[in-house]
A = this chain, B = another copy of it.
Amino acid sequence: MHSPELLKGTLQTIILKLLADNGKMYGYEITQKVKDLSDKSLQLTEGSLYPTLHKLEAEGLLKTEKVSMGKRVRKYYFLTPLGESTSIQKIQDFEAFMKTMFQVLQLSPKLA
């Protein structure tokens, strides 16, 4: 597990990028996908996920669609056009920030 503080500020970026890549996803699916892609080193908890999803929805970056699966109702989240452009923007911001951090920390950018 990483120092949890480092995750701060990146959650929205992660969510938006996943939705941009995968189309509609539901909350639990997002937590599993993050765990998967990060080899279990990022544990996206529901306590941070759902408030963030609701916030992004309130800001008009996401919309939701409810789909019945038997008795269970699954809630899918997907990007609005604004969400799509914001997603791209956030990725660029993140990349620029990384570049800056490498400069400030004077690290060689070997991350492959």
Contacts and interface: CB of A to CB of B under 8 A. Distances in A.
Interface of A: 2-10, 13-14, 17, 21, 34, 37-39, 41-42, 90-91, 93-107, 109, 111-112
A67 B100 CA distance: 32
Contacts of A97: 2-3, 6-7
Copies in the complex: 2
Contacts of A112: 109
Given A9-B5, A104-B14, A104-B37, A111 B94 contact: no
Contacts of A104: 14, 17, 34, 37-38, 42
Contact of A100 (B4, B42, B91, B106): B42
